[in-house]
Amino acid sequence: MNWQNAIITRIETQSLRVKSFFFRLPEPFLFRPGQHVLLRLTAPDGYRAQRSYSIASAPNAGEELELAIERFDDGEVSPFMHDIAQVDDEIEIGGPVGGHFNWTPEDGGPVLFIGGGSGVAPFMSMLRHRAAIVSRVPVVLVFSARLREDLLFFDELSKLAASGDGFSLMVALTREAGAHPFRAGRIDAEFIAGIVGAMRMRVRQVMICGSHPFVEAAAEGTITAGIDPAIIKTERYGATGLQAEVRDLPA
């Protein structure tokens, strides 16, 4: 693994639980949208903690790398980044890694992206790259979050969707009460079938990213909506127990 000491140049609050961290890399690298990097923290006694984070910035976006990190209160690395890491701190970054969950407009479309919460990060890299090279490959992003305030990157995504270049955004909020312009509730087979039906051309690729229960539910919905499982790629951010999963999985 190629490790380097990256410097935090900026920290931006994205949503209730997510902050974006911008890093300057001494040796910027080439990467494909969808790849991730490793953050490695080292304690004075040599103890290390390492976690994976999807790159949210586009390739060729300059020397800065953006990572969108969600805070898990009982976690180790994400609370450190949220509470202790500051601008000008050095953090070790390794990578880029991941040769599967990648997409660029050259791979073709139409594509359907389904992101849950911070799982939207790799799609930001893909969509920013798509916009940067002025591609019109049709893309639909289904973005699911709990509350309106959990929608990271929402302004930027709305702008991209308003540009009329073949990108559209569908938002589902699972816990937002009251009136809002989005779908209320979880994404299910019917919802996906409606989107796929409206896509005129046959979907070439479906990519799903988020927590494991989210990815399971979205993949089940997509398959039930008639999509060939062979064209679905998934990236699972983590964390569910056998016990938890029995509770969380849809029947």
Partner 1 sequence: MITRGFLRRSTDSGQLIRLPPGQHVVADFPVLSAGPTPRIKTGDWSFALKDGVRPVKSWSWAEFNALPQTKMTRDIHCVTTWSKFDTAWEGVLVDDILADAGIEPPTGFTLAHSYDGYTTNVPTADLVVGKAMVATRYEGKPIPPDHGGPARLLVPHLYFWKSAKWINGLQFTKKDELGFWELRGYHRYGDPWREQRYTND
Binding site for partner 1 (CB under 8 A): 1, 5, 41-45, 47-52, 76, 80, 84-85, 89-92, 97-101, 208, 212, 216, 219-220, 222-223, 229-230, 232-234, 236, 238-246, 249
Minimum CB distance to ligand FAD, residue 170 (Å): 21
Residue nearest to ligand FAD (CB): 75
Contact between 52 and ligand FAD by CB under 6 A: the answer reads yes
DSSP string, 57-91: SPTTS-SEEEEEEE--TT-SHHHHHHHT--TT-EE
Is residue 121 a contact point for ligand FAD (CB under 6 A)? yes
Buried-exposed string 52-70: b where 16+ CB fall within 10 A, e elsewhere: bbbbbbbbeeeeebbbbbb
Is 83 one of the binding residues for ligand FAD (CB under 6 A)?
no
In whole angstroms, give the CA distance from residue 48 to residue 40: 7
Selection from partner 1, ligand FAD, none that 54 binds (CB < 5 to 8 A by kind) is: ligand FAD
Nearest C-alpha neighbor of 187 from the set 141, 148, 153? 141
Which one of partner 1, ligand FAD, none interacts with residue 5, CB within 5 to 8 A by kind? partner 1
Q: Which range touches ligand FAD (CB under 6 A), out of 88-96, 140-148, 173-181, 232-240?
A: 232-240
Instruction: Answer with the entry of partner 1, ligand FAD, none that 9 interacts with (C-beta below 5 to 8 A by kind).
Output: none
Task: Choose from ligand FAD, partner 1, none: what does 75 bind? Cβ within 5-8 Å by kind.
Answer: ligand FAD
Q: For 182, phi and psi rounded to 5 degrees?
A: -105, 170
Please choose, from the candidates 111, 92, 96, the residue with its C-alpha nearest in 3D space to the C-alpha of residue 33: 96
Among candidate residues 100, 120, 129, 144, the one with its CA nearest the CA of residue 209: 120
**Partner from ligand FAD, partner 1, none binding residue 118, C-beta < 5-8 Å depending on class:** ligand FAD
Report how far residue 134's alpha carbon sits from residue 163's, in angstroms, rounded to the nearest whole number: 11
> Of 19, 23, 33, 36, which one interacts with ligand FAD (CB under 6 A)?
36
Shortest Cβ distance from residue 50 to ligand FAD (Å)? 9
Buried (b) or exposed (e) across 134-165, using 16+ Cβ within 10 A?
A: ebebbbbbbbbbbebebbbbbeebeebbeeeb
75 touches 41 (CB < 8 A): no
36: helix, coil or strand? strand
188 binds, among ligand FAD, partner 1, none (CB under 5 to 8 A by kind): none
Residues that bind ligand FAD (CB under 6 A): 36, 51-54, 68-70, 72, 74-78, 118, 121, 211, 235, 237-239
